[in-house]
DNA sequence: AACAAGCGTGACGGATTCGTCACGGTGACA
DNA sequence: TGTCACCGTGACGAATCCGTCACGCTTGTT
């Protein structure tokens, strides 16, 4: 369904990934030479890039910076691959804005899931500055929430959390997904922190807090329409 | 250039406004009856609504709430008119998300300026989640700024301030405009506060802080390209 | 009914953020 | 050159925000 560019010099890994992705319905393009990345990206216009940092010759980090520096390639989401234990300090300096990253060894399944998550996130969000869901209307531009027409002030995290939940109102968001989407992949906040923010959100929403539903054992979900609850 | 709906029962005022606006190249449509507002809006699809709160019969505030409650009309910016000294408590409860408001008496010129400001703000922003200006790339979605490809964390106010400045890089933003755009029309922060935030922004930007230029006696401006400064 | 795992909640400290003020510097203009 | 309005800056206190923890409740399972 989506065109994915894989930059990876170890051909067996590249093939494994490619195979797995095409089996899931994606179109995978592999290149092993770092120097070909920019031309390939411009020519192929992939929807997402999987970039191994450990490349012979050109440093993967340099490639990444170049991708971000060019207006044409900057918006393309990138998932970064690194060998385990490799250059943690580099990664630390990698606030650069990768959309996710994965340490080797990893299962192709895991990579596929990450790719799906990133694609879902990016596709839904781009070019929509307002989200309307029943009584809720999110105004990204002003970071405000309108509930039944009245404005509510949310903090940065609360807003991001609610936005993430509302973007896919049908979907159930796992705790891990929410932590990654709201706090970023490299953060390490406690799972209880998420609960606290969910609670604060519900508080601010008042009775409408019921639209945020707990899916026990999994995570949370935003429901536009409440099931008619029978009064006690 | 833009279609503007004016809801005002005093016909002389409505005419005055209408005349002035059409002279500036806008198309003004006047209605005096509150009940006609919703149908008129749906039929005419104005780009902006000027709404007098003091209407016979239906309360202007109710109209406003209805406009915001309906998905089709909620995104349309509204400028609210009130008589001086009128119902300050109502206005206080009016966090509702009007885009600006004006107390009578006001000059048509003033209204025109406000309308222009709102239109400029809204038009530029809608449907653009990323702004690229030279070395700067603003990522609204994640509230991040990329300078030469490296991410910088900004606070909410800093981000909004920079966004406002960057949206119109050619324009000079007056202090009043910035205060209104960033803090909202009903806030009353000191003008020195703006300076402080400008300073903090420049600090975070480092040498690139020079892109924020002071226009003495007026305000500030974002310049994508720096004039080649001759070394001392 | 008993248990364990998952979740909600209140409280707390630390960190960040924000607005304001006083003061000093700087440019414009006579 | 002197004056004045305007702007930059550092410091400070207050408010907010955020992450964590301990504890208790709920839910589902045996």
β-bridge pairing B219-222 and B173-174: antiparallel
For chain A, the structural domain boundaries read: 3-125, 130-222
User: Residue B75: which of A130, A143, A148 has the nearest Cβ?
Assistant: A130
Q: Judge if the beta carbon of B216 is closer than 7 A to nucleic acid strand D.
A: yes
Distance from CA of B107 to the nearest CA of A (A): 28
Q: With bands split at pLDDT 50, 70 and 90, how would you rate the model's confidence at A199?
A: very high
Matching residue, tokens 């959100």: A201
Lowest mean pLDDT among A34-38, B86-90, B112-116: B86-90
Longest dimension (CA), chain B: 69
- B130-133 β-sheet, strand order: B130-133, B136-139, B144-147, B150-153
Q: Give the model's pLDDT for residue B127.
A: 47
Calculate what percentage of chain A has a pLDDT beyond 70.
Answer: 79
CATH among 3.40.50.720, 3.40.50.2300, 3.40.50.1580, 3.40.190.10 for A3-125: 3.40.50.2300
Residue nearest to nucleotide D28 (CA to C1'): A216
DSSP class of residue B17? H
In the predicted model, what is the mean pLDDT of residues A69-93?
A: 66
Distance in Å, residue B217 CA to nucleotide D6 C1': 7
Q: Mind listing the pLDDT tens digit for each residue in A41-65? A: 888 888 899 888 776 666 777 788 7
Of the candidates A188, A184, A187, the residue with the CA atom closest to the CA atom of residue A160: A184
How many of the other CB atoms lie within 10 Å of CB of A179?
20
Where on strand C do bases come within 7 A of a protein Cβ? 6-11, 16-22, 27-28
Of all helices (H) and strands (E), which one includes residue A28?
A: strand A27-31
Q: Give the model's pLDDT for residue A202.
A: 93
Give me the CATH topology for the region B130-222. Answer: Arc Repressor Mutant, subunit A (1.10.10)
Please indicate whether residue A56 or residue B32 has the higher confidence score (pLDDT). Answer: B32
CA angle B115, B117, B120 (to 5 degrees): 105
Residue nearest to nucleotide D5 (CA to C1'): B217
Average pLDDT of chain A is 78
Instruction: Please enumerate in sequence order all residues whose Cβ is within 8 A of that of B34, keeping only pairs 6 or more positions apart, or say none.
Output: B7, B55, B56, B57, B58, B59, B60, B63
Lowest mean pLDDT among A84-98, A182-196, B179-193: A84-98
Rounded Cα distance between B52 and B72, Å, is 21
Q: With bands split at pLDDT 50, 70 and 90, how would you rate the model's confidence at A230?
A: very low
Give this complex's ipTM.
Answer: 0.58
In the predicted model, what is the mean pLDDT of residues B145-149?
A: 79
- Answer whether A4's CB lies under 8 Å from A48's CB: yes
In the predicted model, what is the mean pLDDT of residues B7-16?
A: 84
Of all nucleotides in the shown strands, which has a C1' nearest the CA of A200?
C9
Q: Give the model's pLDDT for residue B26.
A: 82
Q: Assess whether the previous peptide bond of A206 is cis (omega < 30° from 0).
A: no
Rounded Cα distance between A185 and A179, Å, is 8
Distance from CA of A106 to the nearest CA of B (A): 27
Take residue A75 and report the two structure tokens written for it.
């918006």
**Equal CATH topology for A3-125 and A130-222:** no
Q: Mind listing the pLDDT tens digit for each residue in B170-182? A: 677 888 878 877 8
Q: Exposed, middle or buried by CB within 10 Å (0-12, 13-18, 19+), for B43?
A: exposed
Q: With bands split at pLDDT 50, 70 and 90, how would you rate the model's confidence at A32?
A: confident
Q: Mind listing the pLDDT tens digit for each residue in B49-89? A: 988 877 666 677 778 878 877 767 777 888 888 775 555 54
Which H, E and C letters describe A72-141, residue by residue? CCCCCCEEEEEECCCCHHHHHCCCCCCCEEEEECCCHHHHHHHHHHHHHHHHHHCCCCEEEECCEEEECC
């Amino acid at each position: 369904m989506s065109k994915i560019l894989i930059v990876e010099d170890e051909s067996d890994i590249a093939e494994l990934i490619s195979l797995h992705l095409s089996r899931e319905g994606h179109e995978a393009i592999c290149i092993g030479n770092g120097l070909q990345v920019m031309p390939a990206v411009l020519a192929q216009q992939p929807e997402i890039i999987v970039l191994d940092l450990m490349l012979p010759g050109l440093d993967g980090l340099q490639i990444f910076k170049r991708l971000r520096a060019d207006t044409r390639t900057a918006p393309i989401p990138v998932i970064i691959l690194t060998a385990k234990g490799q250059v943690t300090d580099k990664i630390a300096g990698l606030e650069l804005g990768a959309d996710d990253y994965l340490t080797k060894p990893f299962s192709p399944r895991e990579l596929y899931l990450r790719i799906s998550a990133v694609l879902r996130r990016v596709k839904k969000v781009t070019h929509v500055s307002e989200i309307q869901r029943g009584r809720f209307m999110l105004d990204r531009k002003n970071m405000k929430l309108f509930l039944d027409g009245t404005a509510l002030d949310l903090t940065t995290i609360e807003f991001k959390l609610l936005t993430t939940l509302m973007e896919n109102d049908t979907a159930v968001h796992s705790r891990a997904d929410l932590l990654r989407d709201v706090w970023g992949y490299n953060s390490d906040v406690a799972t209880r922190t998420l609960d606290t923010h969910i609670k604060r959100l519900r508080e601010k929403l008042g009775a409408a807090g019921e639209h945020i539903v707990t899916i026990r054992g999994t995570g949370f979900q935003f429901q536009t329409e409440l099931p008619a609850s029978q009064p006690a």
